[in-house]
Chain A
Amino acid sequence: MKKMDLQSAWAVAAKDFKIFKRKSTVIYLSTVYPLAVGIAFPLIVQYALHIGKGHGITALTLPRFMDAFSIWFLIGAAVFPTAIASYSLVGEKIQKSLEPLLATPMTDGEILLGKTISGLVVPLGAIYAGSVIYMSLMDLVTQSTLGYLYYPNWHIGAILLVAPFICLVSVELNIIISSRLNDVRTAQQAGMLAAFPFFGIYIASEIGLFALNDTNLLILAGVILAIAVVLFFVSRVTFQREEILTKWK
């Protein structure tokens, strides 16, 4: 079997980045939300602490709220890649560009790896940028109440460590889903299903069924990475040249 050629995979990803640059809506869908979350939560806290006169939030309860807010970056990691990952494959189907691509010496694995990279980089970059904005603004609005800088800390560090793996699972799921669909919007909606388990984890942690502490986040990272690897192989099995050419409409 031919060894995976990373240069070819990167060429696919680089080509997708060039296309995304011209598809501004795809980029906005993946980047605006994480950046907005990074700004919105600190503003809510600012309002609650200073304008809303506390609303019951004290220096003692504030870290719990901040930890809960930061978990939205985990959920986001499952949601944000949907737009790009769905477009990446369905776009090829719409433009009928897969057949010439499949006729090149590239392997299925290289094409899928390229698609994974292109689906991963932009949303992940946006999540990290959003989290930096979030931490900076949150420190700015809470330092006077807490008396110290809450961020960076291990909790958000663990979240940002898990985020790429969740992104990866989301990208792989979206690739598998979009290989079965022909409409970008439907693929994106179906891809959103990837976020449901993480909503579940969030709710479970909020009602006390599951503690999203640093240890559990690290365990979660390992489990999700294993799922991502399995999904990559599932997507390779799903991505059959013959089926693509004869059955994909």
Chain B
Amino acid sequence: MTVVIDTENLTKKFGDLTAVDSLTLHVNDGEVFGFLGPNGAGKTTTIRMLCCLISKTSGSAKIGNYEVGNRADQQKIRRMIGLLTENVGLYEELSAYDNLDFYGRFYKLDEQKRKEQIEYFLKMLGLWEKRNEAAGTFSKGMKQKLAIARALIHDPQVLFLDEPTASLDPEASKTVRDFILELKKEKRTIFLNTHLLDEAEKICDRVAILKTRLIAIGTPQELRRSLSGRKIKVQLQRVDDVIVEAVKKIGFQISEITDNSLLIDVSDPEKENPAILKAIEAAGGHVQFVTEVGSTLEDVYLKLVRG
């Protein structure tokens, strides 16, 4: 698989403050790559470095075959990327059509091609009927969609999306998310900055968690498995202290107790379940059913970010 975004020890310092520390990652062609991290983790700074908007302090980064930081390659990188910034930054007085037309001109799209691209994206995003209305009159969700269309107007190979659903209501978020999933079908490389774990889990092929330094990388499934282990949920008629103590006595950790169920950490449920059930029954418990519970990306994220 071709690597499209490639960084080696990429570092950015603002004076004494290290915003991004020795970031090494590789994003493959056609991959949707989620970049997770709390506010101030360095996500936007990373995108800005990769889009040649700010300089790197040290390390290296490549977009395709072009070197980030090499002056001769900057224009080439900007031609092959599209960027949705954290603030949509639309020209509110201009119509949706004019906003896109303006950006299309910088990528040397001829008038016919610009028209086709604008029509295609505005129709795809359900904004075609409002093409002549000023962007300032649009809702937040509509503005965000228009800004995504702007980032795509020149058909970039790599798309950087910085918090695309932040500050949107649930309905608008879903519309934007669905659109990203449509883009995913086109096998476009998407680098998605987000702090919404649910969003990353639904959309991304792989995710990285950043807290100035890269603290984890892999598919959402890999991260869940490798970092949070496995859990079983034992549903009982009733939970009491005797049952809880019985489970603990045979060496298992209980991570959550509710009125009628226990969430127990296990490493090999196939082998360990019989012993657990036996202990519960011996303590007077009546087991109704047992299920394996997968931990969410959120569990993994919080565990990693909180250190």
Residue of A nearest to B102 (CB): A15
Known: A99-B87, A100-B83, A105-B78. A1 touches B71 (CB 8 A): yes
Type the 1/0 row for B89-107, where 1 means its CB is closer than 8 Å to any CB of A.
1111110001000110111
Is A102 among interface residues, defined by CB-CB distance under 8 A? yes
Contact between chains at A105 and B89 (CB < 8 Å)? no
Known: A1-B71, A11-B106, A103-B85. A23 touches B93 (CB 8 A): yes
Residues of A within 8 A of B208 (CB): none
Contact between chains at B105 and A242 (CB < 8 Å)? no
Residues of A within 8 A of B150 (CB): 100
Is A96 among interface residues, defined by CB-CB distance under 8 A? yes
Query: How many B residues touch A, CB cutoff 8 Å?
Result: 31
Is B200 among interface residues, defined by CB-CB distance under 8 A? no
Our pick among B54, B89, B91 for the contact of A15 (Cβ within 8 Å) is B91
CB-CB contacts below 8 Å: A1-25 with B: 1-2, 7-8, 11, 15, 18-19, 22-23
Residues of A within 8 A of B302 (CB): none
Residues of A within 8 A of B91 (CB): 15, 19, 95, 97
Residue of A nearest to B95 (CB): A18
Residue of A nearest to B153 (CB): A104
Is A227 among interface residues, defined by CB-CB distance under 8 A? no
Interface size bucket, A side?
A: 20 to 34
Main SS class of interface, A: helix
Contact between chains at A241 and B93 (CB < 8 Å)? no
Contact between chains at B105 and A22 (CB < 8 Å)? no
Contact between chains at A98 and B89 (CB < 8 Å)? yes
Residues of A within 8 A of B151 (CB): 100
CB-CB contacts below 8 Å: B9-60 with A: 14, 48, 51, 53-55
Type the 1/0 row for A183-211, where 1 means its CB is closer than 8 Å to any CB of B.
00000000000000000000000000000
Is A36 among interface residues, defined by CB-CB distance under 8 A? no
Contact between chains at A95 and B53 (CB < 8 Å)? no
Our pick among A2, A11, A102, A245 for the contact of B105 (Cβ within 8 Å) is A11
B75 CB to closest chain A CB (Å) equals 5
Contact between chains at A246 and B89 (CB < 8 Å)? no
Contact between chains at B93 and A245 (CB < 8 Å)? no
Our pick among A18, A23, A242 for the contact of B98 (Cβ within 8 Å) is A18
B17 CB to closest chain A CB (Å) equals 11
Our pick among B53, B79, B89 for the contact of A97 (Cβ within 8 Å) is B89
Contact between chains at A105 and B48 (CB < 8 Å)? no
Once bound together, how far apart are the Cα atoms of A97 and B98, in whole Å?
Answer: 14
Contact between chains at A246 and B92 (CB < 8 Å)? no
Contact between chains at A245 and B89 (CB < 8 Å)? no
A117 CB to closest chain B CB (Å) equals 15
Once bound together, how far apart are the Cα atoms of A162 and B54, in whole Å?
Answer: 39
Is B81 among interface residues, defined by CB-CB distance under 8 A? yes
Our pick among A18, A22, A102, A104 for the contact of B107 (Cβ within 8 Å) is A104
Is B147 among interface residues, defined by CB-CB distance under 8 A? yes
Contact between chains at A104 and B89 (CB < 8 Å)? no
Contact between chains at A15 and B94 (CB < 8 Å)? yes
Residue of B nearest to A21 (CB): B93
Our pick among B54, B55, B75, B93 for the contact of A105 (Cβ within 8 Å) is B75
Contact between chains at A103 and B53 (CB < 8 Å)? yes
Once bound together, how far apart are the Cα atoms of A96 and B84, in whole Å?
Answer: 12
Residues of A within 8 A of B107 (CB): 104-105
Q: Which 9 A-B pairs have the closest CB atoms?
A: A96-B87, A97-B89, A104-B106, A22-B93, A103-B83, A11-B105, A96-B89, A105-B78, A242-B54
Apart from A97-B89, A99-B53, what are 17 other A-B pairs with CB-CB below 8 Å?
A: A1-B71, A15-B91, A15-B102, A18-B94, A95-B90, A95-B91, A96-B88, A96-B89, A99-B83, A99-B85, A99-B89, A103-B51, A105-B78, A105-B107, A241-B54, A242-B55, A245-B54
What are 10 A-B contacts defined by CB distance under 8 Å? A2-B75, A11-B106, A23-B93, A95-B90, A99-B85, A100-B151, A103-B83, A104-B106, A106-B106, A245-B54
